[in-house]
Chain A
Amino acid sequence: MIRFLATRSLGALVTLLVKSFVIFALIGLMPGDPLDMLTQANPDATPEDVAKLRAIYGVDQPIGARWWTWLIQALQGDFGYSRAQHRPVLEIILPALGNTLILMGLAFVISTIIAVFLGTIAATRRGRAIDRVINLIAYTGISVPSFWLALVMIYVFAVRLGWLPAGGMPQTGEGLHGWLVRLTLPLLTLVMVEIGGLTRYARSSMLEVLGQDYIRTARAKGISTPRLLFRHALRNAMIPVATIIALGFGHLFSGALLIENIFAWRGMGRLILEAIMGNDYNLALVCLLFTTAMILVANILADLAYSWLDPRISLGGRRR
């Protein structure tokens, strides 16, 4: 267990290093140049001044050298400043990360529970009307543009019915009620988009398990259906679903990015888009790295979940 965590974390760190270079290089290809932005406000700047500034800031260096300098500073905990907000990027990112984790974490838990429940029902009532209805819900979930669904939700619940606010963060003093009211629409949208794919996997995985001999044996012993489903079948059916959930973490984040932007939820997704659009590249860079790190951690957690769900899978890669 400890050894598994150590090797996986080391692997993830190496991956993160490689990705930090790729992202760094991509950001370097974005429009504009840090010094153009610095000097365009100053009409007195001569070309010599600009060249001098370039040397001071190291912008004249090749991309590899710039990445190395940046990396050394980042490893010392200095992630630099945001160009637009004139604050250290960590100070900006950490609250946003919290907000995103609240939204994504809740969406993840709720959509997993709903999807497994719907998938189980569909599998046990295969071919009946309820199976068809659940199937249609799942198809809609994977086919709907999430940002458009968010707009429809705003139209229905905020514009027409006026039940919920169209977006924004809870104000200080609004307390738990404020959080609930502001979270409901983004959360609902994200869950509706997420359950589509998950329900389909849960259903097919459940169908496979229900066809196995031990289920027939358990049924022959006279076990009650709920107990059969939730004690015997569900645990095995969850193993392939866990893979999908882990691989789907990036998908969940992409969904959150769009939804945060529409509902003005101050999370990482909104921050990334603002940073990219506002040429605030250092902020964008660090945001992307945090997001990538988040996905890597989720993948490691999923591997831990497998071995918990299926003790036959040993973490060291050897069969026990």
Chain B
Amino acid sequence: MSDLLDRPVSIWALRRRRLADDPAALLGLGMLVTLLALCYAAPVFEAWLDVSATETDLLSRFDPPDATHWLGRDDAGRDVFTRLLLGGQTSLSIGLLGALGASLVGTLIGAVAGYARGRTDMVLMRITDGIISLPTLPLLIILAALDLTKLGFTQDFIRSGAAGYWRIVVIVTLLGWTGVARLVRASTLALAEREFVLAARAQGASAWWILRVHILPNAISPVIVATTLAMGRVILAESALSFLGVGIQPPQTSWGSMLTNAQDLISTAPELAIYPGGLILVAVIAVNFFGDGLQAAFDPKSK
């Protein structure tokens, strides 16, 4: 407290300090960074252990763990440990990109609605409420199964692995922006009334400039928290879609797609069904720990 009085501290330094005092948030961040580092080190492990996460070996199906295959082999003879890391790359990066995409779209729509008000606001918020009250998962399944040729994409693009990946990112963005839009709209409505915005407008600043320089920097804190927490939901959504067979398609892999035939394996090779789901659980818990820590650190009323 004393050094708070001694010299001025920037809000971000204060928040960083509060975050550093929160063991759960640090644990979450630590787990997340470790998982990311491990997953992106998959090629290193493959080279070091001389195993393959992608090459099938039908003579070694369901082999138990040994010195190089740390978690054994799966139903196609691939190394389970490095395959988990490979799948993690997809799951975690889709979580990150999907959450960022949804926040970006939500921020844009919320800021426009809150600043323009009137009819624009009403239409945008009606759309927001409409999306919120739709049954999410069935809609995600339909969007994931849409025939992209009917939207003018080429066959070559659709067959490429990138299409499956970006399709998931786009659809979680399309359905996930509503929460952030509401947050940003509320902040924008309040901030637009403040004197510094009035002053900027009196000096002839454009709406875009006011939003970018005066409003959004002041409205960003709750968005950062919401983006973090959204990452957990996106990881769960991707895993559900891939589990149902409409998400990440082979030969690409993710934790969810590793569970696609888990139900058939549950009585013969249960560990193949346990590992990927366990990793999803750990990753999402880590994200939620960190997100809640951020929320507490950003909230001047807490503690």
List A residues at the B interface (Cβ < 8 Å).
15, 18-19, 26-32, 139-140, 142-149, 151-152, 154-155, 159, 247, 250-251, 253-254, 257-258, 261-262, 269, 272-273, 276-277, 284, 287-288, 291-292, 295-296, 299
Contacts and interface: CB of A to CB of B under 8 A. Distances in A.
B262 A257 contact: no
Interface in B86-139: 130, 132-139
B168 to A, nearest CB: 15
Nearest to B149: A31
Contact of A142 (B142, B145, B270, B288): B288
B143 A139 contact: no
A147 B259 contact: yes
Judged by DSSP, the binding face of B is: helix
Interface stretch (B33-41, B62-70, B189-197, B236-244): B236-244
A26 B175 CA distance: 14
Contact of B277 (A148, A154, A250, A253): A148
B81 interface: no
A250 B245 CA distance: 21
A131 to B, nearest CB: 13
B130 A262 contact: no
Q: Which of A145, A146, A261, A287 is packed against the most chain B CB atoms within 10 Å?
A: A145
B299 to A, nearest CB: 12
Nearest to A146: B240
A30 B150 CA distance: 8
Interface in B250-275: 256, 259, 262-263, 266-267, 270, 273-274
Judged by DSSP, the binding face of A is: helix
Contacts of A144: 277, 280-281, 284
Contacts of A269: 138
A103 B273 CA distance: 25
Contacts of B151: 29
Contacts of A295: 133-135
Contact of B147 (A32, A154, A258): A32
B137 A257 contact: yes
B130 A15 contact: yes
B285 interface: yes
Interface in B145-173: 145-147, 150-151
B236 A145 contact: yes
Nearest to B232: A143
Contacts of B177: none
Contacts of B138: 254, 257, 269, 272-273, 276, 287-288, 291
B132 A139 contact: no
B289 interface: yes
A257 B135 CA distance: 10
Contacts of B71: none
Contacts of B276: 148
Contacts of B240: 145-147, 254, 258
Given A139-B285, A148-B280, A152-B274, A292 B133 contact: yes
Given A148-B281, A250-B133, 4 more contacts: A32-B147, A144-B280, A151-B277, A292-B133
Given A145-B239, A147-B259, A151-B277, A29 B135 contact: no
Contact of A27 (B142, B284, B285): B142
A19 B191 CA distance: 33
B95 to A, nearest CB: 12
B143 A26 contact: yes
A33 B151 CA distance: 14
A18 B129 CA distance: 13
Contacts of B186: none
Nearest to B278: A148
A255 B285 CA distance: 18
Nearest to B276: A148
B141 interface: yes
Contact of A276 (B142, B262, B263, B267): B142
Contacts of B273: 148, 151, 155
Given A29-B151, A139-B288, A154-B266, A145 B134 contact: no
B134 A250 contact: yes
Contacts of A273: 138, 141, 244
Contacts of A27: 142
Q: Which of A144, A151, A152, A299 is packed against the most chain B CB atoms within 10 Å?
A: A151
A31 B147 contact: yes
9 contacts: A30-B146, A143-B232, A143-B281, A144-B281, A151-B277, A254-B137, A257-B138, A262-B263, A288-B138
Contact of A151 (B132, B150, B256, B263): B263
A148 B259 contact: yes
Contacts of B137: 253-254, 257-258
Closest 6 CB pairs of A and B: A148-B277, A254-B137, A143-B284, A31-B147, A143-B285, A291-B135
A29 B146 contact: yes
A147 B280 CA distance: 12
Nearest to B235: A145
Contacts of B145: 30-31, 276-277
Contacts of B289: 139
B277 A30 contact: no
A86 to B, nearest CB: 23
A218 to B, nearest CB: 25
